[in-house]
Every structure is written in C-alpha cells, then in structure tokens.
Structure 1
Amino acid sequence: MTATQVSEAAQEIEKLLALHPKGYDLSLDRITRLLAALGNPQDRLPPVIHVAGTNGKGSVTAFSRAILEAAGLSVHVHTSPHLVNWHERYRLGAKGGKGALVGDRVLADAVRRVAEANAGQQITVFEILTAVTFLLFADHPADVAIIEVGLGGRFDATNVITRPAVSVIMPISLDHQSYLGDRVELIAAEKAGIMKRGCPVVIGHQEEEGVRDVLVATAERLGCPMSVYGQDFMAHEEFGRLVFQDERGLADLPLPRLPGRHQYANAAAAIRAVRAAGFDVPEAAIEKGLATVEWPGRLQRLAGGKLSHNGPPGAEIWVDGGHNPGAGQVIAEAMASFEEREPRPLFLIIGMINTKDPVGYFRAFLDLAEQVFTVPIHGSDAGLDPVALAEDAGFVGFETTATSSVAEALAIIAELVDEDPVPPRILIGGSLYLVGDVLAENGTPPR
C-alpha cells in the first residue's frame, strides 16, 4: 500500500476527527440511529463471533481467524485500535484463503457513506468506524465475521448484534475504571452485556473467582449454552505439544505460534468458540491455525528493520502493547519462560498513557528486568511524561532512565552491554500507541 493509497481513507477519517470526539461516550442510541439510516447493515452479517475481555481478546480473535481460514472459510475480522494504519481494523475474508486488510478506496468510500448518513449529528468517531465495520461486512459476503469489542461490552458500539453465533468473554481485570467501574466484578458485569438470550457463550480463563461467578450467573439467567474454561474445556502443555480437551475428547496439537504460556488458554478458548459457533472444523485445520496464527504488536519479535538496528548486536527485541497490570503479569511470565529457555539480561523500554496503572504494570517485572527506560508516546496526546513514568518505575524498585525516544533508549542499552558476552533481551511496551510508533519507524507495519 502506497502513501497515496493510505491517505485517501485517512483523510476522510481525519475530517471526522475534526468534527466528532475521538474518545468513548458509552451509549447505543447514536449508533442505533446511524445504522437505521444505513439500512441496518448489522442485520445482514454472516454468523458473528463477538469477543470481549480486558486481555486476550485480540489473541482469541487471531486464533479463531487462523483456524477458520485453515478450514477454507472466508472470515471478516474487526479489531481495534489499529497500530499504524486505520485499515488494520477491517480485514475482509476471501473464500478458500487468507483475507486481506480492506483496500484504501473501499474504506474511504465506506467512511464517506457513513458520514453522509450521519448528516453531521452528534456521534463519536469510534461509533462511525464501527458503523463502517457493519457496512463493509454486509456489503462483502463471507462465511463468518469475528468482531472484537472496543470498550466494555454492554454499551459498546459493537453491541447491536442481536443473535451472535457465540459470545466470548476473555480474561477480565482492572482497566478503564473511569468508564467501567473500579471493581473487577463491575467490569465483568459490563462485559457480560454482550451475552444474548439463548445464544452460546464461551468464558475464557479467569483469574478472579468473583469475575467467573458474575459471568456464569449472567449466562445462566439468559439461558445461554455455556462453556467455561477449566470446567468444560481446557488446555495444557505436554511433551512439547498442546493437549486440548472438551466434551469431544482430547486433541493432540502443536504449541501455538504466538509465544507465552498464556496463549494455551487463549488458543483453547478460540477452538471452543469456533465449535460453539457451529463450525465443525477438522482437527487438521486447528493444527494449521495454531501453527500459522499471526497477531502483530503482541509479543512480536522485531526481526530486522530500521529501528532495531539501533540496538545491541544480537539483541532479542520484542514489542507488546499490553498496558494494564493483568497484561503485565502475562507478559512477564512470557519473559520468564524465555529466560528459562535462553538466559539473557532483560531491559524494558516503556511508554504509557495517563489512564493506566504504571506501578501495577511495573511490579510484574520486578524480579526479571535489569533496568527500565521510559519514553514519550508520539501517537497519543495522553502520553505520560517519561520523567514521571520513570518515577513510577523507581517507586517499584527499578533503576530507571528517562529518554526522548526508543532509538535513544536502544542506543544507551547498546553502550551498557557493549562488553557483555551475552546479548540482551529487550521488551518495548506499555502502550499500543507506542508499539504502533515502533512498527512504523521500524518499517514493519501490520499487513
């Protein structure tokens, strides 16, 4: 995609950003009005897998897509936010093969149609972009649509789907408290809002028993056929393989391509979701999906690229957009497993926005990382000042250095380890905005 192609859709969206708020104002009234003006395209979708959760919803979306595509099905996918280009939010399915990010002219045309239907009325940009999702997915036939919730569930703009093939609730932890509540049980109740009476529900692995109780009680009240991780399906590693189990029995599968032990439960939820949605995919398709799955910006290793050359020779550089304490915990566990496999000194390069919990995030890495470097986030006006963020890391107990950019942080690390015999492992994270900046600067945007 050339810069000229990218700009047409981006320019249309930038016009909307100048007219409408960029953030969230949780309500279904505006999106319902807009969709009615468009002829209710959300009612003309293929079977929908609707995915919510604090962490893991992107991974289960990626696994589900990979498995379904491996079975030869055409799969539409909506995710948010994007990392580099707006087009990443919309993947259009292709029969018998991998789908592709929406073309620029197609996206620009859909944005214009939605903006015209809205006729300048009050609305958020996320609601307009969600309406674009439904318009694109209704206009282009496919076998299945995977739609990721933006924020919460009950009042999220995607929650106008009345009869999902399956609703999936992934791990829930504290995040977006100003919108969703300051207790995990309250957040669980909001995310449970995507469940629809009588429609199948898959509940992924939940660390908090109170969360699980809320989700199970909601599904029972609505009469939803329910599958709960650890009860109705599960997965574990055995002899370098992934053993998945549900009511059909055991399946001996390859370990997921996505790194980290937390991906075992995410993969299991995807397998169960695909089955609960009514897709009887062969085991060979599940195997291929686990082996070929891709999810940019989430424990993604930078293999070459312009920015990575600033780092120490031989360094192992990872990026991950996880930004809350729950995400910090699973990322730290992944880093610990890498350390078991191949010991290397670990350095963190972190940028965060001001709605997050830096102290909670940093605590997960306290016994793992050598030093923390903080950086500004250029992709958001809500980025935390690197000096203030360094103070948060110092409060946890880290040696910290505030820097002006990821490139500068990498260069400093290169000087620090110049004489070390073992190249370091470097994690760049704390924000999807930061990861997007890094992938763009590195010349490796999602495809």
Structure 2
Amino acid sequence: MLHASGVRTGRFTSPHLIDRWDCVTIDQQPAQESAFQQAEDLMMRRNESEAIGASKFELLTATAFELFAREKIEMGVVEVGLGGRLDATNAMQHKAVTVISKIGLDHQSFLGDTIERITREKAGIMRPGVPCVLDRSNSPAVHRVVEDYAREIGTDVVLSSTDSAFLDDLPQKDYEPHQWQNLACAYTAFHLAYTKSESPLHRLAAAVQDMQWPGRLQTLDIRGITGRQEPVLLDGAHNAQSAEVLRRYVDGRLRKEAGKVTWILAASQGKELDDVIKPLIHPGDCVTAVQFGPVDGMPWVQATPPQDILAVAAASGVADGQMHNSGADTSDAMRWATAVAAGGPIVIAGSLYLVSDVLRLLRDAEQVQARYWPNKSTHP
C-alpha cells in the first residue's frame, strides 16, 4: 500500500526466502547482491574494529538499516526477528506506528510459556506517543497486557479495523479469515503512517488484490522437478496458530473433495511437533518428512530429524506404509509425494526453511530448463 501510494519504501523480513539478500527489499524489489554485501562488509568491519560483539541477526539488521539509509527510503516496514522488546530491530528510534498482529504460542523457551508473557515481550516495540495497532481478533488476555503497557508508557492502542470504503470494495469472500485480519492491521497502520496530503485510496485495492506472499498458501507448479501436472500448496506454517489456519484451509478446500492429503513436512529443532503436525494430519494421509538444508547466515537454525516428525505422524494414525523418510533430500520428498498422491492434493509445510529449499529447487530447475529448452517454461 505504501509503494502503490508513491512512498519510497524499504522492507526487512526474516528469514530470507531464497537468497540471503532477499530479506531486504527496496520498492518491492530484492536488494542487489552486490549492494547487500557491501553494506554487510561495512557492518562486519565496524563490529570488529569497535569490538561490539554483535550477533549474526544483529549484523543482519544493521545491514538492512544501512541499505535503507543508502537508498534514502521514506518509510521502512520492519518485522521483528524474535519477540520485540529485546529484538535487534527494536533499536529503531524513529517509529511512525507499531503493529502487534495475532499472537500465539511460539518460541516459548525465549519469550515465556504463557500468552501474557509473550505479549509483554511483543509490546516492547511500543514507544511513548507512537500509536500501536493491535489485531482486534486477539484474545482478551492479549488486549489487557497491551493496553496496560500502553498506559504505562503513554501511548494509544488502535484496534485494527475494516471500517473503510477502501475495504468495502474488496470481496472478503476471496480471503481467508486470517488474511482479512492481517489486511485490517496493515490498512490501519497505513492510515496512521501515511502523511502525504494526496489521498491514495484509489490505488490501494489493486495493490492488495495483486499481492502474493511466497510461502503463505502459495500454489506451486512442480513439473520441473517431478513431472506432476497438478499444483501443490506451499505454506510455512510452523507453530500451533499457523497450523490451525492451514488445517482449516486444507480441510475446507482440498480434503473436502479428495479425502486423502499427502504431506511433505519439516520442522526446526525446538518446535512443539505435536502442536504443529497433529492438527494437520488425518488417518489415511501420506507423510514424508525431510530435513531442510543449512540456512545461509543463520547457523543457529537446526532441522528436526525426519524420524521425529514421522513418530508424530504415526501417533496421529498414519500407517507405516504411508510414511517415508526423505533424509536431507527435498527433491526425493517431492518425487515420493507425487508418486503416492497420484494426482491428489500435496501440501508442503512445517517450516519457512523448507519453503526456502523448495523455492530454490524450483528456481534451479527453471534455470536448467531455460538453458537447454529456451522456448519452454515450467510456469506457463
């Protein structure tokens, strides 16, 4: 919405999707590799010369902010890495608006084991006098913690709202409930942050309708890897909250006709597998587990062994003959799933790092095809 309104905008999200530098975008285009590496080298030299001892994520955040400064952005959209209060991104001094979206249990070992404790960590991004947009669909406990902290520091909480002529023009039936809730947060924050005198409302509907977010209910063509003609669903659901959203989508749109779903699953170590996997799987489903590869720039991220995921699948009623261990071979997982699905629905989920591996494989397959068959495309 900012970009469509003519605001020069930078975005920083983590983890990256395919290449390390795509975590930073300028006007919706991934940062150039050379520019990213120049900024990163500068941050690393400064870290060493001043003996700062910054962590990998702190260096990544500093690199993003350095790129924003070089590109002279007018507005930055910055996603926290973990929590908020102690997150590296919270070093920002000039905030126009803060946003707290739907909160669920995640990263409990770092943020606390209750919704209230996690919410307090998230609320740490708030600043005196800077409005905070709160997703109104959050639980009463989340509302209480956020509103109490807002009073404590002296700022206002603005509940996300779809009360807008702009949103009236969008067909709500085309959006999943969580997508509409996120849109309400985004629009409310945009309304508070956009300060130009010109009204951009006539540009926003097209910008929202054209929006595609990789790895979130994304439909993929995997013919270039497996020869499968039917599309597959790719979603980075990796906690109980996002797994429940994915379950509703799959059960309502894919399982309703096919019955059986074939899953390709991975997970990061430390995740509560029961909370993520059990809501997704039905007895009679097929499951292959895979271990995602090393994450560039994030050596602390480790994959869960596939056998641990399959143990949860077995406990959910999946028969031995309907499970497969793909080890660290994502291509093998996709080929096995294609064979056993026999045209039925395939869903890839459990980790954004698995999303990265899949998207990278598809890109490599396209590049090979373009090299040898330049007049054909795996994505017509």
TM-score range, shorter chain: 0.7 to 0.9
Paired position in structure 2 for 1:435: 355
Q: Which AA in structure 2 matches 1:177?
A: Q
Q: TM-score, normalised by structure 1?
A: 0.73
Q: Which AA in structure 2 matches 1:112?
A: D
Report deviation, 1:255: 4.0
Q: 1:288 aligns with which of 192, 203, 206?
A: 206
Q: Indicate whether 1:76 and 2:17 are aligned.
A: no
d(CA) in 1 for partners of 2:263 and 2:150? 40
Cα separation, partners in 2 of 1:259 and 1:398, compared to 1, 3 Å: farther
Is the strand fraction higher in 1 or 2? 1
Paired position in structure 2 for 1:212: 143
Paired position in structure 2 for 1:222: 153
Q: 2:216 aligns with which of 275, 278, 298?
A: 298
Indicate conservation of the 8 Å contact 2:166/2:201, yes or no. no
Indicate conservation of the 8 Å contact 1:305/1:444, yes or no. no
Q: Which AA in structure 1 matches 2:290?
A: V
Indicate conservation of the 8 Å contact 2:283/2:317, yes or no. no
Q: Which AA in structure 1 matches 2:216?
A: R
Matches within 5 A, 1:9-408: 67-93=1-27, 99-119=28-48, 121=51, 122-229=53-160, 233=161, 244-245=162-163, 251-255=167-171, 260-279=176-195, 281-304=199-222, 306-307=224-225, 309-310=226-227, 313-339=228-254, 345-367=260-282, 370-380=285-295, 382-399=302-319, 401-404=323-326, 405-408=329-332
d(CA) in 2 for partners of 1:258 and 1:440? 29
Indicate conservation of the 8 Å contact 1:259/1:334, yes or no. no
Cα separation, partners in 2 of 1:285 and 1:444, compared to 1, 3 Å: farther
Unmatched 5+ stretches in structure 1: 1-66, 94-98, 234-243
Q: Which AA in structure 2 matches 1:296?
A: P
Cα separation, partners in 2 of 1:417 and 1:355, compared to 1, 3 Å: closer
Report deviation, 1:71: 1.7
Sequence identity (%):
28
Using the TM superposition, name which of 154-163 and 212-221 deviates more: 212-221
Q: Which AA in structure 2 matches 1:346?
A: V
Cα separation, partners in 2 of 1:417 and 1:88, compared to 1, 3 Å: closer
Q: Match of 1:306, SS?
A: helix
1:330-349 C-alpha deviation (Å, 9 max, x unpaired) = 11122233238865642211
d(CA) in 2 for partners of 1:316 and 1:347? 13
Q: Match of 1:159, SS?
A: helix
Q: Match of 1:254, SS?
A: coil
Q: Which AA in structure 1 matches 2:46?
A: A
Cα separation, partners in 2 of 1:267 and 1:369, compared to 1, 3 Å: farther
Indicate conservation of the 8 Å contact 2:97/2:132, yes or no. yes
Q: Which AA in structure 2 matches 1:401?
A: M
Using the TM superposition, name which of 392-401 and 135-144 deviates more: 392-401
How many residues align? The count is 352
d(CA) in 2 for partners of 1:282 and 1:347? 44
Q: Match of 1:443, SS?
A: helix
Cα separation, partners in 2 of 1:417 and 1:347, compared to 1, 3 Å: closer
d(CA) in 1 for partners of 2:350 and 2:35? 33
Indicate conservation of the 8 Å contact 1:301/1:318, yes or no. yes
d(CA) in 2 for partners of 1:165 and 1:444? 40
Report deviation, 1:316: 2.8
| RMSD of aligned alpha carbons | 2.5
d(CA) in 1 for partners of 2:45 and 2:285? 53
1:248-282 C-alpha deviation (Å, 9 max, x unpaired) = x6742324899633101111110001001134653
Q: Which AA in structure 2 matches 1:265?
A: Q
Q: Match of 2:176, SS?
A: coil
d(CA) in 1 for partners of 2:210 and 2:318? 37
Unmatched 5+ stretches in structure 2: 296-300, 366-380
d(CA) in 1 for partners of 2:243 and 2:284? 12
Q: Match of 1:373, SS?
A: strand
Q: TM-score, normalised by structure 2?
A: 0.85
Report deviation, 1:205: 4.1
Cα separation, partners in 2 of 1:188 and 1:206, compared to 1, 3 Å: farther
Cα separation, partners in 2 of 1:182 and 1:141, compared to 1, 3 Å: same
Indicate conservation of the 8 Å contact 1:114/1:128, yes or no. yes
1:69-117 C-alpha deviation (Å, 9 max, x unpaired) = 1222221111111022111111123xxxxx3211122111111111111
Q: Which AA in structure 2 matches 1:411?
A: R
Indicate conservation of the 8 Å contact 1:346/1:425, yes or no. yes
d(CA) in 2 for partners of 1:343 and 1:402? 21
Report deviation, 1:200: 0.8
Q: Which AA in structure 1 matches 2:43?
A: V
Cα separation, partners in 2 of 1:255 and 1:398, compared to 1, 3 Å: farther
1:129-158 C-alpha deviation (Å, 9 max, x unpaired) = 111111111122122111111111000001
d(CA) in 2 for partners of 1:317 and 1:424? 9
Q: Which AA in structure 2 matches 1:263?
A: Q
d(CA) in 1 for partners of 2:99 and 2:283? 32
